[in-house]
Structure 1
Amino acid sequence: MSDNGIEAVKLDGTGPVYDQIRRAIRDLVLNGAWPPGTAVPPEHALMERLGASRMTVHRALVQLAREGLITRRRRSGTIVANPPASHAMLDILSIPDEVRQLGQDYSFQILSRRDARPSPEVAARFELKRSEQVAHLVTLHRSGGQPHVLEERVIHLATVPAAAAERFETTPPGDWLLQHSLWSQAEHAISAVAAGERESGLLEIEQGEPCLLVERRTWNQNQPVTAVRLLYPGGRHRFIGRFGPYGAV
């Protein structure tokens, strides 16, 4: 960022200094002066420019990251975040379509897979019977090279036996299921959770940052098809539901 960029950070003299810094940077982001992808001055530069302590500057930047206005990366520094992606709250999501609607390139990686009876931890997480045979997959989806969502999924092999032979080399599990299985009922829940150590490393966010957890289960004529947990970095996403007097529209 040029000197003119950091000189645009001006305190208004009202309230705690950390909040003045937060508001000054927030306003530059929201009014378009610092568009998405703009490098935010490093902490030491802001300290020198504003005469503030490292703790004060750090506190302001942490709060801006929690608000989803900036993205802090361990190695490449801090940048202005892209506007949050919007999701239709009641849809069965196609993550590749979701990413492409943002104008970004999509990619995915299967991080792990195990076809067997579920472990006690997996059974508890997805409310499974220990006798069920499932494919347990962990997938990282990327948008423009950046982690988009971390997916953990179980597929009931008794209901979808073809999944046992599928390698998911070109199509991620969720889209493959939409193309190769039927569902008649679904339920989902959305909650806010803090990123754990493993999740934060995979999503390239700080440990403890807020995330949106979407949990969904689907059935076909009372037979379970799949259950999935989708962990989205909270600052990069928002969910939308449109409804009328008689339900979703």
Structure 2
Amino acid sequence: MAETQPDAVKLDGAGPVYDQIRRAIRDLVVSGAWPPGTGVPPEHALMEQLGASRMTVHRALVQLAREGLIVRRRRSGTIVASPPASHAMLDILSIPEEVEQLGQAYSYDVLARGDGRPAAEVAERFGLRRSDKVAHLLVLHRADGKPHVLEERVIHVAAVPGVAGEDFAKTPPGDWLLQHSLWSQAEHAISAVGAQAEEAGLLAIAVGEPCLLVERRTWNQDRPVTAVRLLYPGPRHRFVGRFGPYGQI
């Protein structure tokens, strides 16, 4: 288990001390400076480094554990948590897992790719600046050999520089991003649309057939990571989320 140094935790002086500690550790986790499995400094070390009381440090760590960013273990200490693997309605979906959960065989093809500054229509569709450098991909995912979902995605090269050398021959873009990038915020929308001619041809459905359009954008802090449009043939799919008064369960 990798160890961290308490002096990496820097307070910004804004607001209650426990919340400054929480934000400082959260930023180290989200930025990747403290990757999953990294040992978080013990309470006494943070108390000494930051000049904070035990109660203040304890409160910050308890909140981070509630947010799922760290795991506290009585004997082995506190570590940075791994990203959750669940895939409920508003989670970041792994399409291969989605298909496999249906008991079907997954496959995919990268139909098109363009790297560089986006074309005007792509910039408008995804809310990009024309100066942004992106990888623009069109991917068809299949279940048992039949079209399952059509994915159109842009990946910001500045946030994910490794995308320039990746051909996605072995791993589809969404799953590759889950393995090679970090995100701290996501915006997620679902709407009903009719299939356009090109989309209908790729999905093997009639023009105008109802589809579910899932649109998602993710950021790491204030830096955009990716934006994606997932087009599902409507009659074949539904999204289910189970939740309670404190969120999804």
TM-score range, shorter chain: 0.5 to 0.7
Determine helix, strand or coil for the equivalent of 2:166.
coil
Aligned residues: 163
Q: Is 1:220 the equivalent of 2:220? A: yes
Q: Is 1:176 the equivalent of 2:137? A: no
Q: Match for residue 147 of structure 2?
A: 147
Q: Is 1:132 the equivalent of 2:128? A: no
Determine helix, strand or coil for the equivalent of 1:88.
coil
Shift of 1:165: 0.4
TM-score of the superposition, structure 1-length normalised? 0.64
Shift of 1:243: 2.0
Shift of 1:90: 1.1
TM-score of the superposition, structure 2-length normalised? 0.64
Q: Match for residue 157 of structure 2?
A: 157
Q: Match for residue 166 of structure 1?
A: 166
Determine helix, strand or coil for the equivalent of 1:90.
coil
Q: Write the letter of the residue equivalent to 2:211.
A: C
Q: Write the letter of the residue equivalent to 1:224.
A: P
Over the residues paired in the alignment, what is the CA RMSD in angstroms?
0.9
Q: Within 2, Cα distance between the matches of 1:104 and 1:246?
A: 33
Q: Match for residue 88 of structure 2?
A: 88
**Which ranges of structure 1 fall in alignment gaps of 5 or more residues?**
1-86
Matched ranges for 1:61-72 at <5 A: none
Shift of 1:135: 0.2
Shift of 1:159: 0.4
Shift of 1:223: 0.7
Q: Within 2, Cα distance between the matches of 1:187 and 1:107?
A: 27
Q: Match for residue 41 of structure 2?
A: none
Q: Within 2, Cα distance between the matches of 1:88 and 1:229?
A: 17
Q: Within 2, Cα distance between the matches of 1:240 and 1:104?
A: 19
Q: Match for residue 58 of structure 1?
A: none
Q: Which has the higher contact order (CA 8 A, sep 6+)?
A: 1
Runs of 4+ displaced beyond 3 Å: none
Q: Within 1, Cα distance between the matches of 2:124 and 2:170?
A: 30
Q: Deviations over 1:126-147 (max 9, x none)?
A: 0001100000000000000000
Q: Match for residue 113 of structure 1?
A: 113
Shift of 1:245: 2.0
Identity %: 74
Q: Match for residue 102 of structure 2?
A: 102
Determine helix, strand or coil for the equivalent of 1:238.
coil
Q: Match for residue 186 of structure 1?
A: 186
Q: Write the letter of the residue equivalent to 1:232.
A: Y
Q: Within 1, Cα distance between the matches of 2:233 and 2:201?
A: 12
Shift of 1:88: 2.4
